Amino acid sequence: MHPEIITFETKGDKILDKSLAKIGSKGIFTAELEQALREGQIDIAVHSAKDLQVGVAGEDLELIAFTERETVNDVLVSYNHDITLNDGKAWVIGTSSTRRSALLRHYYPYFKIVDMRGNLQTRMHKLQEGQCDALLLAFAGVHRMDPDKHIVAHFPLAQFTPPVGQGSIAVESSRSLDPGKRQLIRQLINHIPSEYRLLAERAYLRRLQGGCSVPVFAYATLVSDNTIHLTGGVVSLDGQLIIRREMHDNTSEATQLGYRLADAVIEAGGYEILKEIREQIAR
């Protein structure tokens, strides 16, 4: 029996005339797939890990696997290969991410930012039409496709720390999924080092109650077989304030590491920044 692939169009795919911050981040890319899991239409749902809300929606669903993580950097994509990050010119940059917009305002204030929604093909078409000079995207989202040749710059991780989960695919299922199927999926798909990294990052995001509409970032790496290092922080919408902290611990403590780092960011002033961000978004 061959697997059957069923495609879905989510709320986040359909509403392109509003920013993600205005739509709200709760389940905008996952709700339709999770409903199909509950109704038994599908056995598993495949998500971009960075699009997942901080907690799986309900005790009846669970994340059972994460694919091996790819390069996590953000990149600049353009048909104009003369564009560079540090030329000081007021290039118009298209992005739908509050995190990317805020970090641009902090590190590259001479760039102009325009909201750019849609799938990769739609954004590339808008770029070709001249609606912006370049697109700010995740490397993992473009390198398998033709736009890969139009990458003009990679943003350094020390500045553009990625959102939680960027570069990995998450597999979600109902808790009632046949145990044999669950075990087989994990055996075939799950990459244990990436799973440790995602567990730490998602715990960090869960503690901060963040989402894709909030400029929170975190990135975990394995510095040895059993040691995980986590960097995380938050940036104000105007890019003026950035709080960044880092910690390490045993891989067996990945989730607790995420919680501890979030607490450190909150204590360093993150609570006030997040409070102000949510108030601004709600206006």
* Residues labelled as active-site residues: 51
Q: Which two three-digit tokens encode residue 29?
A: 């890319």
| Cα–Cα distance for residue pair 133/80, rounded to 1 Å | 7
Across the chain, the runs of DSSP E, i.e. the strands, are 44-48, 61-66, 74-77, 92-95, 112-115, 134-138, 151-154, 169-174, 216-224, 227-235, 242-250
Please state, in angstroms and rounded to a whole number, the distance separating the CA atoms of residues 102 and 224.
Answer: 32
Identity at 174, one-letter amino acid code: S
Task: Report yes or no: 30 and 10 within 8 Å, Cβ to Cβ.
Answer: yes
Beta-carbon contacts of residue 227 (< 8 Å; ≥ 6 apart): 248, 249, 250, 251
DSSP E strands, 88-180: 92-95, 112-115, 134-138, 151-154, 169-174
Q: In what order do the strands lie in the sheet with 169-174?
A: 44-48, 169-174, 61-66
